[in-house]
């Protein structure tokens, strides 16, 4: 750090960042597009994101399994009153069955090729 009088400057700042008499340079941004150019953008088709169905199914199954673990073990849901303590205990036990079934379903979907 370089100290001089009332001003200080970090040494890692490029030398052209601070100009004459301590004035800072401002960043220059690109110009906004003209209104006539906006009509050209509507003509171009927007590329669609193609996600395989088995990836979507695997993601949904994983969220279901993680939901059981969260509801059973976090304690947040029963604390705010969404579920009771008894339901939370039941979800802890059900997680031992649901999570392995979810893993089995995810692995099974990964082995099958998409048609």
Residue 28 sits in the same domain as residue 58: no
Residue 29 sits in the same domain as residue 64: no
CA pseudo-torsion sign 71, 72, 78, 80: negative
Q: Are 50 and 37 in contact (CB under 8 A)?
A: no
* pLDDT score of 66: 92
Residue 37 sits in the same domain as residue 57: no
Residue 11 sits in the same domain as residue 29: yes
Q: CB under 8 Å to 7, separation ≥6 — which residues? A: 22
* pLDDT score of 100: 93
Q: Domain for residue 18, yes or no? A: yes
Residue 62 sits in the same domain as residue 16: no
What domain count does the chain have? 2
Q: What angle, rounded to 10 degrees, do the helices at 53-73 and 85-111 form?
A: 160
> Half-sphere exposure (CA, 13 Å, Cβ side) for 64?
16
Q: pLDDT tens-digit profile of 23-62?
A: 555 666 666 656 555 555 556 677 788 888 889 999 999 9
Residue 6 sits in the same domain as residue 24: yes
Q: What is the pTM of this model?
A: 0.53
- Enumerate helices (H) and strands (E) in the chain, giving the number of each: 4, 2
Residue 57 sits in the same domain as residue 29: no
d(CA 115, CA 56): 15
* pLDDT score of 5: 54
Q: Domain for residue 48, yes or no? A: no
Helix (H, G, I), strand (E, B) or coil at 35: helix
């Amino acid at each position: 750090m370089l100290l001089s009088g009332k001003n200080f400057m970090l040494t890692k700042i490029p030398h052209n960042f601070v100009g004459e008499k301590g004035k800072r340079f401002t960043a220059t941004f690109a110009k906004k597009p003209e209104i006539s150019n906006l009509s050209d953008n509507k003509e171009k088709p927007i590329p669609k994101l193609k996600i395989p169905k088995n990836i979507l199914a695997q993601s949904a199954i994983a969220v279901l399994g993680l939901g059981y673990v969260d509801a059973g073990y976090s304690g947040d849901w029963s604390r705010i009153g969404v579920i009771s303590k008894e339901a939370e205990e039941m979800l802890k036990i059900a997680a031992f069955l649901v999570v392995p079934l979810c893993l089995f379903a995810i692995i099974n979907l990964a082995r099958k090729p998409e048609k």
